[in-house]
Structures are given as C-alpha cells and as structure tokens.
Amino acid sequence: MEEKKYTIKDYRSELKPIWCPGCGDYSVLNALLQSFVNLQIPPHMLAIVSGIGCSSRLPGYVNTYGFNGIHGRAIPLATGVKLSNPAIKVIAVGGDGDGFSIGAGHIPHAARKNIDMTYIVMDNSIYGLTKGQASPTTPVGEQTKTTYYGNMDEPINPVRMMIAYKASFVARAFSGDPKHTVEIFTQAINHRGFSFVEVLSPCPTFRGAEQFKLIREKIKPLPEDYQPTDEVRAFEVANDNDFFHLGVIYKQNRPIYTDILKKLQEVAEKMRESEVLDLLEQFEP
Ligand SMILES: Cc1ncc(C[n+]2csc(CCOP(=O)(O)OP(=O)(O)O)c2C)c(N)n1
Ligand code: SF4
Ligand SMILES: [Mg+2]
C-alpha cells in the first residue's frame, strides 16, 4: 500500500485566523504549514507552544499538539514538552514582546543548553494584541501609544543576541518573502539543537503600511559563498544596521541537551549499582 503523503490540509485546524487584513502572521502560518509538508512530519509528532500575543494565537490554527500558554513563557513550556517526549518536534512561537520583554530571561538558557526545538519570533516591533505599545525591537524615534514623543530606547537586535547566547542555529526571514521563509523554517526544524528564526512580520494596524515597505527596502540575501559556521562573520552580518540580511546567519553542530542527559543518566545508573550501595552500607546498623 502506498504511504500517506501529508498535505497542507492535514496540518490546518478548523479555526480561522482572526488576524487583521494584511498582518504578516498569515504568511508565517502558511510558510510553517508548507515546511511541515516538505518535511512530512506526522501531525501527532508535532507540538507547537506559544505565549500570549497576536502571533501567539498560531497554535490554534494548526492541527498538531499545541499549547497557548501564558505571556513570556513559551520557552519553558516548550522545554517541558521536549523533555517529557524527546521524540516529537517542538516548536515555540510568539512575538517580540512575548520573547524579548517578559520572556527574555528564558531564552539564553534554552539556547546554551541546546534544547532541541525551534523558536520562531514574529517580529513586528510592537505589542500588537494590547493595541500598539513600544516593544524591545521598536526603532528609536518611533511614535507608538507609549512613546508619543518618539521611542527613546535603543532596540534589541535579536539575531546578534541569539548568536551571543550560543543558539546553534540563527536565521532571519521576512513574511513578505514566503518562499524563502519556507526554506528557512524547513532547515530550522531539521536542525538538531536550538534553532531560532526571527521573521520580520509587519503589523499594518499599529505600524502602518510603511513598515512593510521599509523592511522590503532593507532586506538583502546573504552572499552565495557565505559560511554560517564563522561566528565573527555572523556577528558582522548581525551588526549591519543598514540592511536586514535574510538567511541562515549562524550555525554550529554540538550535542543536544537530551543526549547529554541520557549519557549522565547512564553514569548515574552505574553509580547506583556500586558507589551508592557502598555509601548505604555505612548507615547499616
Ligand atoms: C503577565 C502578562 N503581562 C502582560 C500581558 C499583556 N500582554 C498581552 S500580549 C502582550 C504583548 C504582545 O506583544 P508581542 O508579544 O510582540 O505579540 P504581538 O501581539 O505583537 O504579535 C502583552 C503586554 C499579559 N497577557 N500577561
Ligand atoms: S494588531 Fe497587528 S499583529 Fe495583531 S493581528 Fe492586527 S496586524 Fe497583526
Ligand atoms: Mg509584536
């Protein structure tokens, strides 16, 4: 009998997205579903976890295991899912506010431990769901609901931050280039370890139609001979404020958390047999 081939329909839930017309998140959702088709992952072998925000609604639109958690806590929830069942592909999704404001303390630890998951941030440089407050990626000078006279704070550069945190795969994509976004998601999900993708995903409602145009003017693909394993070069690319370089900016292969944990468990098992029994004998009457 011919093996079942999963199509987009198998991954889409019955819930219709309620994002505003023109929101970049529609394109991110479609790209993610297409990457599942590319990878042919059975829906029951996927778990998508989020925090709270417009972007964090995504797990509801996908026919996989899912968890729409609490604000800023997608990463610890996703870590728990992965540790309890390392066989399934775990994807954490959310916004720039969710990830880089309230949730920022969780990211370095998942990255340095190399938890085998993919983290997708739909970066619109604004708090969309709560109606337009400045976020950690809002550019200096931008007028928002909370920065009437212009944003004073230097924005975070998520790609630079992730390389510094030792994430083993760091990429950037743009919702306005869905074909490239599918490619990047496919590679990120296939990566063994903590993979991060910043998707520039405009919010026309609170950043206006100009946001899409501004991003489109600044995007640039990486050169063909680019080597993502060169950390110094990756920082140079991340630091370039004139352009948004799209592609896999940094990549490193190193052991994942659950493999290291398994090895330590084996060591501990052996210890239980010998040293622990010796130790217990000391307490026998
Ligand atoms: C503990 C807690 N603090 C604050 C909020 C309010 N809140 C909900 S979503 C959000 C920010 C959303 O921005 P972002 O994560 O960038 O997602 P977007 O809506 O832009 O996709 C905030 C501050 C909350 N729900 N829970
Ligand atoms: S408020 Fe912005 S981020 Fe939220 S759904 Fe509307 S366009 Fe998208
Ligand atoms: Mg946002």
By residue count, the chain amounts to 285
Q: What percent of the chain has pLDDT over 70?
A: 99
Query: 127 and 261 share a domain?
Result: no
What are φ and ψ of residue 241, in 5° steps? Answer: -80, -10
What is the SS3 assignment for 50? strand
Q: Is 98 in the pocket of ligand 1 (CB under 6 A)?
A: yes
| Cα 161–chain centre separation | 13
Measured from the Cα of 22, ligand 2's closest atom is 7
Predicted confidence (pLDDT) per residue in 96-127, tens digit? 999 999 999 999 999 999 999 999 999 999 99
Ligand positioned closest to the Cα atom of 52: 1
pLDDT at residue 3, as a whole number = 76
Handedness of CA 232, 122, 46, 110 (dihedral sign): positive
Query: 56 and 182 share a domain?
Result: yes
Query: 153 and 269 share a domain?
Result: no
Q: Is 118 in the pocket of ligand 1 (CB under 6 A)?
A: no
Q: Is 97 in the pocket of ligand 1 (CB under 6 A)?
A: yes
Helix (H) or strand (E) holding 249: strand 244-251
Query: 144 and 158 share a domain?
Result: yes
Q: What is the mean pLDDT of residues 51-66?
A: 98
198 CA to middle of ligand 3, Å?
Answer: 12
pLDDT at residue 247, as a whole number = 98
155 CA to middle of ligand 3, Å?
Answer: 13
pLDDT at residue 67, as a whole number = 97
Q: The CATH number of the domain where 242 resides is what?
A: 3.40.50.970
Both structure tokens of 148:
């009437």
Q: Which of 26, 71, 102 to mutate to test the pocket of ligand 1 (most atoms within 8 A of CB)?
A: 71
Q: How far apart are the first and last CA of the chain?
A: 66
Measured from the Cα of 70, ligand 1's closest atom is 26
Q: What percent of the chain has pLDDT over 90?
A: 92
Predicted confidence (pLDDT) per residue in 187-245, tens digit? 999 999 999 999 999 999 999 999 999 999 999 999 999 999 999 999 999 999 999 99
Measured from the Cα of 56, ligand 1's closest atom is 21
Query: 123 and 167 share a domain?
Result: yes
- Domains of the chain: total: 2
DSSP code string of 110-172:
HHHTT-S-EEEEEE-SSBTTTTSB--TTPPTT--BTTBTT---SPPP-HHHHHHHTT-SEEEE
Predicted structure pTM score = 0.95
pLDDT at residue 268, as a whole number = 87
Q: Which of 130, 138, 203 to mutate to test the pocket of ligand 2 (most atoms within 8 A of CB)?
A: 203
Contact 144, 133 (CB under 8 A): yes
Query: 204 and 280 share a domain?
Result: no
Contact 115, 259 (CB under 8 A): no
Residue 275 confidence (pLDDT) above 90: no
Residue 170 confidence (pLDDT) above 70: yes
Query: 192 and 283 share a domain?
Result: no
Residue 60 confidence (pLDDT) above 70: yes
Query: 285 and 190 share a domain?
Result: no
pLDDT at residue 1, as a whole number = 61
pLDDT at residue 210, as a whole number = 97
Q: What is the mean pLDDT of residues 247-274?
A: 91
Instruction: Give the range of the structural domain holding residue 188, as residue numbers without chain letter.
Output: 8-254
Measured from the Cα of 96, ligand 1's closest atom is 16
Q: Is 23 in the pocket of ligand 2 (CB under 6 A)?
A: yes
Average per-residue pLDDT in the chain?
Answer: 96
Query: 190 and 57 share a domain?
Result: yes
20 CA to middle of ligand 2, Å?
Answer: 5
Residue 266 confidence (pLDDT) above 80: yes
262 CA to middle of ligand 1, Å?
Answer: 36
With 0-12 / 13-18 / 19 or more C-beta atoms within 10 angstroms meaning exposed / middle / buried, residue 30 is middle
Per the listing, tokens 């990047």 go with 184
pLDDT at residue 276, as a whole number = 80
Helix (H) or strand (E) holding 88: none
Q: How many helices (H) does the chain have, and how many strands (E)?
A: 12, 8
